[in-house]
Chain A
Amino acid sequence: MATEENLESMIVQNVLKELAKNGFLQNVKTASVPQVSETPTHRSIVNDADEYIELPPISEILIHEPIHKETVAALKAMTPARIGVGRAGPRYRTTTLLHYLADHSQAQDAVFLDVSDEFLQRMGIFEVQTQVSDREEHLTRPDLGCRLSREAREKISVNCKKNVQVQVFVADGLSSKAIESNVAELLPALIQGLQGEGITDIGTPFFVKYGRVRVEDEIGILLNAEVVVELVGERPGLGTANSLSAYIIYKPTEKTVEADRTVVSNIHMGGTPPVEAGAFLAGLIKDILKAKTSGIKLTTG
């Protein structure tokens, strides 16, 4: 392309020169294509205006002059995959690279940051911790994230009613963002839904820091709850850093296996909206209480 442009400017210059020679261009002394100024021009900072540099929408077609632009748009509409992105040499366009980095930043922050104290206060739920001591240990030692610390066991025993029908709790899992963006909408819808189904014996919800899915077994045993519902942050993808899952289990024991759990995933505004998920879970919990089982046995039984 560069050569084409050069060629073009060469032709233009030659034509202009020819014209000038023949006296057609009185005002042109030395015909030339404008050159880049050699002295840097100063651009002042205008941060007071309400103007930000933002990422363009991901739906933007970045291919340089596609043959069928409407085809590209239609194909892009068929998939959330990063297609129709064009290229700079063999590499990404700048926008594509920045989008990727921005999405990864969301995912990394969802994984590596904590659920804020402010959020827990707003929700009015207390916090306990598993046997994990820091974020790195949480990620590399999933076994410890399945066990409550001694302090946690005590705090839960003191603050929560035993032998309830339904015990709901929240665990950060692999996305703190999932907790902060969904729980406030999901939890009231779930409780309202349960009440609507006539299920009123619901335990006090709380938050487990550095919690994994299997920690719900210990909690269920500790509180002797009939059904335990864990709302846990899912491993973030690049597009969705705030997806939440609900793991529901009927009377867990030490021998509980994964197939005993009923799982509802992909809860976020781009998937199942949290408020609708809460309502859906209420119906599901009713079914589980009625069937007195959860997981595979619920769907096949």
Chain B
Amino acid sequence: MRDRNRDELISVGIDIGTTTTQVIISKLTLENLAGRFSVPRVQITQKEILYRSAIHFTPLIEHHLIDAPAVAALLSAEYSKAGFTTGEIDTGAVIITGETAKKENAKAVISQLAGFAGDFVVATAGPKLEAIMAGKGSGAQAYSVKHKKTVINIDVGGGTSNYVVFNNGKVVDTACINVGGHLVELEPLGSRVAYVAPAARKVMRECGLTIEPGQTAAYADLKKITDKMAEAVVAVFAGTPGQGMAGELMMTEDLRRDYILDTVMVSGGVADFVYDQEARALSMEEVSRYGDIGPLLGVSLHKAVLESGLFVARPEETIRATVIGAGSQSLEVSGSTISVVEDLLPLTNIPVVKPFAGLAPADPAKVKTLVERSLEISGFEDTSVALAIAGPADMSFNSLQSLARGLTAGLTREIERGRLIIIVLEQDCAKALGQSIKHLIPGNRSIVCVDQVLVEDGDYIDIGKPIIGGRVVPIIVKTLVFNRPDND
């Protein structure tokens, strides 16, 4: 039997970005902190990175397809270098980021990879999630807790820059702009332009420049372009929202800006050029050494963020921020008194539907109506869904019974069709609610009821097999958005 009070999970993070692909393997320690005389309370107490891969160029076929066999081979080589086999990986996340997420075969590749990477490794994408993972991996979240500040982390990648705002550890806002170091590709150590992404064309147009692939570019012209890009990146949080270049390149809603920022942190591949004065890009050779304008964008950003007026903090991780976020920050644990049937787990990619705005109504009839309506609106016909519920009207036995009655009535059709009953609660009452539902539909073995997890309508959730003596389940909450509109 595994230790009932302590468990270790090996977690992988795989980031397939516009320019680079990376792998990290970390060890998560989970402990029951509640002591012998209390109801258990399991938390992740330690995260240790065991292995960091080299930084590889993302294998692409032409510019529009991910070279799946090459990515798989890369992953396989990294696993053996790290000394792990797929079977030894307990959990983790593959995240496909930036421009790569727009590739035609992105969804297929990432799902395959997740399976290949390990049993409970999830596939994720989407600018929101990418931003959050980068901000966790860069140390911005921890910084905001430690210094009690509102911190914006900008992860500047090859194709996009992702913003996340943390207030005292909590995510309060995210956004994404189509600016990155790989939007203009250059012949390494030369000055010939190899590729110009659509977003870069817009910037060029704004600068009154036209540079086509095959032409040579002047340092001064490229600097003009990166200065404009940097200006747009900073304008998103320090300028007038929706205006100018920034407005044109936004890939998401603007930041809400209903908070006061104290600190800015930049992560991602170009961040080294933002912070490290040694890593200057003063000549064309220095600029094009990685085959793109990334170094120069870093230089431009250095000046732009300093001029933003915010305190500029140094990240703990730069180019590896997202992969570390994915590998060691994506997993959370459920509350420690839950109601699950082990054989049903793991469950992956379960869409979340939130039937009530606040706590559940006290009236079972109302619960039934709202559940039915929300299921109808969400339109998930061919899959089980997870109902996200803050809690019963109050924490009394009677309210729980009412909620259980309303839920079973509202889920009648789902139950008849053999779907699972998956309930994700915020408040600590999953065991009691699970039992109450079971009491109403005796013999039903398809109930998964977990608590102390925050999810929103439109999220997807993965629920792993129980750990630590069956007390808790690992949970990954994600937002899967693949088909986002191209900004061209």
Contacts and interface: CB of A to CB of B under 8 A. Distances in A.
Interface stretch (A33-41, A135-143, A260-268): A260-268
Contact of B397 (A189, A271, A282): A189
Interface stretch (B16-24, B125-133, B247-255, B430-438): B430-438
A279 B432 CA distance: 5
B428 A272 contact: yes
Interface string A251-276: 00000000000011111010111111
A273 B395 contact: yes
A277 interface: yes
Interface string B68-82: 000000000000000
Contact of A276 (B4, B148, B337, B438): B337
Given A74-B148, A74-B168, A275-B395, A196 B432 contact: no
In this complex, which of A68, A275, A282 has the most chain B Cβ atoms within 10 angstroms of its Cβ? A275
A26 interface: no
Contact of B435 (A185, A192, A277): A192
Contacts of B64: none
A279 B337 contact: yes
Nearest to B438: A196
Contacts of A70: 148
Contacts of A271: 38-39
A154 to B, nearest CB: 32
Given A272-B337, A275-B400, A279-B337, A189 B37 contact: no
A145 interface: no
Contacts of A267: 39
A84 interface: no
B431 A280 contact: yes
A189 B398 CA distance: 10
Contacts of A195: 439
Given A188-B397, A189-B397, A299-B4, A276 B429 contact: yes
B396 interface: yes
Nearest to B262: A70
A193 B449 CA distance: 15
Interface in B114-168: 148, 168
* SS class, residues of chain A in contact with chain B: helix
A283 interface: yes
B439 A275 contact: no
A185 B39 contact: no
Contacts of A265: 37-38
Interface in B388-444: 395-397, 400, 427-432, 434-436, 438-439
Nearest to A273: B395
Contact of A273 (B36, B428, B438): B428
Contact of B432 (A68, A184, A275): A275
Interface residues of B, number: 24
Contacts of A282: 435
Contacts of B434: 279
B431 A299 contact: no
A227 to B, nearest CB: 18
A272 B37 CA distance: 12
Q: Which of A73, A269, A279 has the most CB of B within 10 A?
A: A279
A273 B427 CA distance: 9
A269 B168 contact: no
Contacts of B432: 189, 193, 273, 275-276, 278-279
A71 interface: yes
Contacts of B36: 263, 299
B439 A192 contact: yes
Contact of A185 (B37, B397, B427, B428): B397
Nearest to B148: A74
B32 to A, nearest CB: 11
Contacts, number: 80
Contacts of B4: 299
B396 A264 contact: no
A286 B332 CA distance: 28
A263 to B, nearest CB: 4
Contacts of B430: 276
B397 A71 contact: no
A178 to B, nearest CB: 15
Contacts of B339: 279
Contacts of A273: 395, 427-429, 432
Contacts of A192: 435-436, 439
B37 A71 contact: no
A275 B38 contact: no
A195 B148 CA distance: 49
A280 B427 CA distance: 15
A71 B148 contact: yes
Interface in B10-49: 36-39
A275 B429 contact: yes
B37 A279 contact: no
A276 B431 contact: yes
Contacts of A185: 395-397
B337 A280 contact: yes
Interface string A66-94: 00101101100000000000000000000
A193 B397 CA distance: 12
A263 B37 contact: yes
A86 to B, nearest CB: 19
A278 B439 CA distance: 14
Contacts of B435: 189, 192-193, 196, 279, 282
A280 B439 CA distance: 15
Contacts of A269: 395
Question: What are the 9 A-B residue pairs with the smallest beta carbon separation, nearest first?
Answer: A279-B432, A279-B431, A74-B148, A272-B39, A263-B37, A280-B337, A188-B397, A265-B37, A273-B395
Given A192-B435, A279-B432, 8 more contacts: A70-B148, A189-B435, A264-B38, A265-B38, A266-B37, A272-B428, A273-B428, A275-B396
29 contacts: A71-B148, A185-B395, A189-B432, A189-B435, A193-B432, A193-B435, A264-B38, A265-B37, A266-B37, A266-B39, A271-B38, A272-B38, A272-B39, A273-B428, A274-B395, A275-B395, A275-B396, A276-B39, A276-B395, A276-B428, A276-B429, A276-B430, A276-B432, A279-B431, A279-B434, A279-B435, A280-B39, A283-B431, A299-B36
